[in-house]
Amino acid sequence: MAIYVLRRVVTSIGLLFLSSVLIFVVLRLIPGDPTITKLGGGMTAVDPRAFQALRHQLGLDRSLTHQYVHWIGGVLRGDFGQSYFSQFPVTTLIKERAGSTLELAAAALFIGLLLSVPAATIGAIWRNRYFDAVLSGFTAVGMSTPAFVNGLVLIVIFGVKLKLLPTQGYVSFQNHPLESLKTVILPAVTLAIAIAAPIMLILRSSLADVASAPYIRTAQGKGLLRYQVVLRHVLPNATIPALTMIGVIIGSLLGGSVIVEYVFARPGLGSLMVDAIYQRDYAVLQTLVLLAAGVFIISSLLIDLLYGVLDPRLRVRGQEA
């Protein structure tokens, strides 16, 4: 077990290192120089002295290796450098925006699970052909609808037509809890639809897999009602394979928040990323992407380890390997 854990941790650290190198190198391929944008390039001739001074100040005149070591050294100390554009420390920018994205992600996860888990469970208990078809249809349409289309439809119905809910901006929960929740509803439902579809897909197939296992027939044989079988035996066992989905869900939350924040003009990490791309601010961009990769790699590590705790068979296999 200890060897298994150690190996997974070491691989994850290796992956993180590899991602950081990859992100750094790919973003250095950007044609042109970020300082030109900063100095209003394209429109007017840039003063070569100002150009050199800014490059020196941002450390862009050093070698790539030096820049990388400087960046990673900072990251390890919790210092993400400063924005090429606004000159603010990247840490400050991220801290300002993180609350909004976390609120959105948490609300979306809650609503998404509320939509998908009961529906899939009812489908497994009820076994109605038409209800199944509705669920399949919802999953297929949900997987094929980009978040910006869902978001636009919701804005039109609840913002433009019914004028029920705010469609733009972000209100901090600490200052105005009620306003904050009202503002997050539409973005969260949009993102929830995007994550509910894949959750439903996996959960339904793992429910079906478990339902055909021999021990389920035993449970039925001893005279349990179907809802008892599903709730006590099928669902708990079907949740374990569905856990792998958490990685995919976290990925969808990260990726989806970029789109959803743009649709609802919500200042968050996703919109910070889009702004950084517009401004070629790769100090901010590389940190955000590394953060996303980090969240992703660490969460899949934790799930793998959790898996070992929940499913004893894997522990044994881990020892053998």
Partner 1 sequence: MTATALSAEGITRRGRRGETVLRVLRRPTAALAAIVVFLILAGAIAAPLIAPYPPSQFDYTHLFASPSWAHPFGTDELGRDLVTRVLYGGRTSLEMAALATLIAMVFGSIWGFAAAFKKGWIGEVLMRIADLTLGMPVILLGLVLVAAFGSSIFSLVVILGILFSPATARLARSALLSELESDYYLAATSVGASPWRIVFEQLLPNTMPVLLARGSIVAADAIFIEASLSFLGLGVQPPKASWGTLLHVGYADLYSSYWYPLFPGLIIVIAVLALNTLGDNLQRALDPSRR
Residues of this chain that bind partner 1 (CB under 8 A): 15, 18, 23, 26-27, 29-31, 140-141, 143-146, 148-149, 152-153, 155-156, 159-160, 247, 251-252, 254-256, 258-259, 262-263, 273-274, 276-278, 280, 282, 285, 289, 292-293, 296-297, 300
Min dist CB 82 to partner 1, Å, is 19
- Distance from C-alpha of 236 to C-alpha of 227, rounded to nearest angstrom: 13
Looking up tokens 């989806």 gives 256
Choice between 188 and 292, CB closer to partner 1? 292
- Distance from C-alpha of 135 to C-alpha of 203, rounded to nearest angstrom: 12
| CA distances (Å), origin 77, targets 24, 67, 80 | 18, 15, 8
* DSSP notation for 95-146: HHHHHHHHHHHHHHHHHHHHHHHHHHHHHHHH--HHHHHHHHHHHHHHHHS-
What angle, rounded to 10 degrees, do the helices at 2-27 and 64-76 form? 130
Work out whether the CA dihedral 299, 300, 305, 309 comes out positive or negative: positive
Min dist CB 254 to partner 1, Å, is 6
Min dist CB 178 to partner 1, Å, is 24
Can you list the positions of beta strands (E) in the chain? none
Can you list the positions of beta strands (E) in 156-238? none
Residues 6+ apart with CB under 8 A from 150: 190, 193, 194
Choice between 10 and 18, CB closer to partner 1? 18
Choice between 210 and 230, CB closer to partner 1? 210
- Distance from C-alpha of 287 to C-alpha of 20, rounded to nearest angstrom: 9
Choice between 107 and 276, CB closer to partner 1? 276
Min dist CB 188 to partner 1, Å, is 18
Choice between 68 and 262, CB closer to partner 1? 262
Choice between 169 and 236, CB closer to partner 1? 169
Min dist CB 312 to partner 1, Å, is 25
Residue 246 CB-half CA count within 13 A = 16
3-state secondary structure of 223: coil
Residues 6+ apart with CB under 8 A from 66: 59
Choice between 34 and 318, CB closer to partner 1? 34
Min dist CB 137 to partner 1, Å, is 10
Min dist CB 219 to partner 1, Å, is 27
Closest by alpha carbon to 127, among 223, 236, 229?
Answer: 229
Choice between 53 and 153, CB closer to partner 1? 153
Min dist CB 233 to partner 1, Å, is 25
